[in-house]
Chain A
Amino acid sequence: MEASPYLPSENFARWRKVKSTAVTAVLVVCALAVIAPLFLVIYFLLVNGASSIDMNFFTQLPKPTGESGGGMANAIVGTITLLAMASIIGVPLGVFGGIYLAEYGSDRANDWLRFAADVLNGVPSIVWGMVAWLMLVVPLKGFSAYAGSVALGLMMVPLVMRTTEEVLVLVPQSYREAALALGVARWKVIMIIVVRTALKGIATGVIVALARIAGETAPLLFTALGNNFWNHNLKEPIAALPLQIYAYAISPYDDWHRQAWAGALVLMALILALNILVRVLSRDRNQQN
């Protein structure tokens, strides 16, 4: 029997189905390949890092070359200090910038500011280090915790600004109108009603930004520099976990490699904890709305 010329042949139909199935399989494999590195990284962090973490790691200073043992207590405290100081710069600038975008700016100006913030977000982190070096290391005549935290703080600004704007816009317009109708001054409306309502969202944005900069190494290389001892003066170099991990990773000593893995595990745990906090905070917010 002759096949109808108007219908595609059976072979062609089968070929189309085979092709579709093959593409589906390829897509599944690609998705697996994309998430595989996460599990590989975490697996090796646990295998190589967990055995080196003990009380000493959290309480002791790094030991000089050749002596085994020691810890990264100063680097852990240093990272927390740097994050706190970076927030002092990044949070007010970012939050007020976000307030301007959400509450005041004209549409055209806002488009430009948002565009600028996104572009600023793409500035390579090493460049921030160079800028902070020129701004602070040269005038202060030395590497310092100040310089490191300015580099990190400036990196936070565009991140915090964009998330603040996003959550402020979500606050219903009727809240503002109700308060304004009662004769409340505009700045009070913003601070007491709008920002207060969106406070959790703003905090979430700040934590996201902190999680992002906590692992940054490049901007600290020639600003905070790193330090094998406690930092007693913020005008002096300060240790940071990422810096210590880097220094130990490229060193030739096995004991230091072991410590680098341990430090990486602690840093990863800190960042994961911040991310989980974000998730918890934003889940509450989603339930509220």
Chain B
Amino acid sequence: MSKTPSSTSPLPEPGSRFPDFAFKWVAAGAATMIVILIVMVGWQLYMGSRLALSHFGFGFLWSSEWDPVQDKYGALPFIFGTLVSSLLALLIAVPLGVATAIFLTELAPLRLRQPIVMAIEMLAAVPSVIFGLWGIFVLIPWLRDHLFVWLKRYFGFLPLFQGPIYGVSMLAAGIVIAIMILPIITSISREILRSVPNLQREAAYALGATRWEVLKIAVLSYARRGLFGAAVLGLGRALGETMAVTMVIGNRPQISASLFAPGYTLASVIANEFTEATSDLYLSSLFELGLVLLGVAILVNAAAQLMLKSMTGSGPIKVN
């Protein structure tokens, strides 16, 4: 006799719904953790900086005094350092990154694309501390003895390139950050350029445009907003860079017009002084610097995501 169940055999009892229910809520809980984490990070930093917030008020942001001995703290030199080093990095990395993305999507022979993309992905994998090490022992000596001397000789009339050359400097930090954000700017720009419809290019070529004209008329004008989003995302990365910057910027809380002068950033002062903070107010001030950094980073990142999303239409571009 075959053992096929007869049509009259009863259906198996439906199992308990509980495991299904529990599983769903575990998953939902894990997903909600993302939101909880954002709130928690902000809340923790706020709690950590309460003392400084009540002690200095908003004046903290505008004061340029940073004197642990007298227990006086102000954020301005660090905000200045973070902004200047990040903007320098963008100034270098955005043109290079966008140009490389154009090269990869429009020009490079197919056989060359994959290796170059792989090299850029590997550059993204190099840890910050290794860039810092390389910065200290390779890049800085070269900058000090060659590039900076050259800049000073030919552009010394600008206040940007005056003053003594130490090597460790705002400009060195800008260059190192630029190298570190190049991969993300390049890969996002590449995604954006790939989303430009081929019809655009073909139409321009059909009108007799040269390669540069096609790029200008058909590709870049179409992709402008997305490329801007890529730059903003790069800015978000640049603001939070810590180790490599700490190792090459010179760590001096000052505001100087010269790019050869040492500076200090929000992230690097936290990295350097957190374990040495001797008074409660000192520690709390460092937390407030962290709060400022977090606020700016979240705003910039959120703006970049929204820009990229509206550009591609199909959900945010994956960012690693």
A122 touches B240 (CB 8 A): yes
| Closest chain A residue to B14, Cβ basis | A183
Name B212's contact: one of A19, A120, A183 (CB within 8 Å): A19
Q: Mark B242-279, 1 if CB is under 8 A from A, else 0.
A: 11000100000000000000000001001100110000
- A34-B120, A130-B45, A217-B127 given; A100·B211 CB < 8 A: no
Closest Cβ–Cβ distance, residue B2 to chain A (whole Å): 20
CA distance A38 to B287 in the complex (A): 35
- Majority-rule SS of A interface residues: helix
- A185-B19, A208-B320, A261-B133 given; A122·B297 CB < 8 A: yes
A96 touches B26 (CB 8 A): yes
| Closest chain A residue to B214, Cβ basis | A20
Q: Does B53 contact A (CB under 8 A)?
A: no
Q: Does A6 contact B (CB under 8 A)?
A: no
Q: What residues of chain B lie closer than 8 Å to A229, measured between beta carbons?
A: none
B127 touches A28 (CB 8 A): no
CA distance A117 to B108 in the complex (A): 34
CA distance A146 to B206 in the complex (A): 63
Within 8 A of A (CB), among B213-255: 213, 215, 236-237, 239-243, 247
Closest Cβ–Cβ distance, residue B82 to chain A (whole Å): 10
A105 touches B31 (CB 8 A): yes
B267 touches A221 (CB 8 A): no
Q: Does B149 contact A (CB under 8 A)?
A: no
Within 8 A of A (CB), among B83-105: 95-97, 99-100, 102-104
A100 touches B30 (CB 8 A): yes
Closest Cβ–Cβ distance, residue B114 to chain A (whole Å): 11
A31 touches B274 (CB 8 A): no
CA distance A114 to B28 in the complex (A): 13
| Closest chain B residue to A187, Cβ basis | B23
B294 touches A124 (CB 8 A): yes
Name B316's contact: one of A31, A45, A118, A268 (CB within 8 Å): A118
A134 touches B47 (CB 8 A): yes
Q: Does B147 contact A (CB under 8 A)?
A: no
B127 touches A249 (CB 8 A): no
Q: Does B158 contact A (CB under 8 A)?
A: no
Q: Does B128 contact A (CB under 8 A)?
A: yes
B267 touches A124 (CB 8 A): yes
Q: Mark A88-126, 1 if CB is under 8 A from B, else 0.
A: 000011111101110111000001111111111111111
| Closest chain A residue to B40, Cβ basis | A131
Closest Cβ–Cβ distance, residue B268 to chain A (whole Å): 9
Q: Does B78 contact A (CB under 8 A)?
A: no
Size of A's binding interface in residues, CB under 8 A: 96
Within 8 A of B (CB), among A54-76: none
| Closest chain A residue to B294, Cβ basis | A127
Name B138's contact: one of A44, A212, A267 (CB within 8 Å): A44
Q: Does A242 contact B (CB under 8 A)?
A: yes
How many residue pairs bridge A and B at CB < 8 Å?
273
CA distance A267 to B137 in the complex (A): 18
Q: What residues of chain A lie closer than 8 Å to B179, measured between beta carbons?
A: 37
| Closest chain B residue to A261, Cβ basis | B133
Q: What residues of chain A lie closer than 8 Å to B95, measured between beta carbons?
A: 30
Q: Does A159 contact B (CB under 8 A)?
A: yes
Q: Mark A186-222, 1 if CB is under 8 A from B, else 0.
A: 1100110000000000000000100110111110011
| Closest chain A residue to B244, Cβ basis | A217
| Closest chain B residue to A130, Cβ basis | B290
Closest Cβ–Cβ distance, residue B243 to chain A (whole Å): 5
CA distance A282 to B176 in the complex (A): 31
Q: What residues of chain A lie closer than 8 Å to B215, measured between beta carbons?
A: 23
Q: Does A86 contact B (CB under 8 A)?
A: no
- A113-B35, A119-B38 given; A267·B127 CB < 8 A: yes
Name B102's contact: one of A27, A215, A249 (CB within 8 Å): A27
Q: Does B203 contact A (CB under 8 A)?
A: no
Closest Cβ–Cβ distance, residue B299 to chain A (whole Å): 9
A97 touches B274 (CB 8 A): no
B41 touches A246 (CB 8 A): no
- A212-B320, A246-B129, A271-B125 given; A127·B41 CB < 8 A: yes
Name A33's contact: one of B33, B96, B133, B275 (CB within 8 Å): B96
Chain A to chain B contacts (Cβ below 8 Å), 9 pairs: A31-B104, A94-B30, A112-B35, A124-B267, A130-B270, A166-B318, A187-B22, A212-B125, A215-B127
**What residues of chain B have their CB less than 8 Å away from a CB belonging to chain A?**
12, 15, 19-20, 22-24, 26-31, 33-35, 37-38, 40-41, 44-45, 47-48, 95-97, 99-100, 102-104, 107-108, 116, 119-123, 125-134, 136-138, 179, 182, 186, 210-213, 215, 236-237, 239-243, 247, 267, 270-271, 274-275, 287, 290, 293-294, 297-298, 300-302, 305, 315-316, 318-320
Q: A161-B31, A260-B133 are in contact. List 9 more A-B contacts (CB 8 A).
A: A22-B212, A27-B100, A37-B123, A44-B134, A101-B31, A113-B35, A186-B24, A214-B127, A261-B137
The 8 tightest CB contacts between A and B, nearest first, are A215-B127, A124-B240, A122-B301, A96-B30, A30-B99, A187-B23, A100-B27, A20-B210
